[in-house]
Amino acid sequence: MKHLGVIDWGIGGVSVLRELQSKFPRTSFTYYSDTGAPPYGTLSHSALTQRLEVVVDRLVARGVDGVVLACNAASTVLMRGVTFSVPTLGMIEPSVNLAVTSRAKRIGVVGGRRTIRSRVYRNALAERGIDVVQRIAQPLSAAIERGHFRTPAFAALVEDIVRPLRDVDALLLACTHYPAALAAFALHLPGVHLLDPAREVALSVRARWSIKPSEASLTMLTSGDKRSMHRSARLAWGR
């Protein structure tokens, strides 16, 4: 593979893109922010699958030969056996591996409504003898998209979400937006190990796919408003 695509509904997946660029500095990347579509977590399984097929095919037309779904909601379709026209890796398997290798006995999982209600993390970790406490943290990603994640209101929201998780050993961030708000999670969960799967995803790409050196490049695309994407990525990731 010489050209990787990275897909998220918004700019959360830039956290994964950064790790991929670090691991594969001589690789072409195309990032697709699909804010012109309904939020992935609100779509039915069939509608989400169809939308992802459209986006993947658009990237393939641009020369992409492998795709990372840098979105937990989107990744749930892979766990139901969906395949695409090029090799595709999601967030869930690398995230489970990260949680298991952390050796935590009790893990909190925070994510969007679709991710949490799918029970993919609860089931996978329970099979490995890990006690799991899940919390839907739906408003956080929208606030991060708007750049409102350093406000007192956001901090209060995080505090309310994580209050039942203060006795966990580790917290799995099951949304790629959440690493932008690590400081807020750390403030309200002192001593809890925060698990950001982005690096594990990049390691999984290295382990599964043969990435051949090519001319390094980065193309950022969006189906939504270009200026909004630029602002959101700059505020969250300094991009």
User: Annotated catalytic sites, by residue?
Assistant: 71, 175
Contact 160, 151 (CB under 8 A): no
Show Cβ contacts of residue 205 under 8 Å, excluding neighbours closer than 6 positions: 4, 20, 23, 24, 66, 68, 89, 211
- Crossing angle of helices 226-237/138-146, nearest 10°? 100
Select from 200, 230, 209, 228 the least CA-distant residue to 70.
200
**Angle (nearest 5°) at CA 94 between 93 and 99:** 100
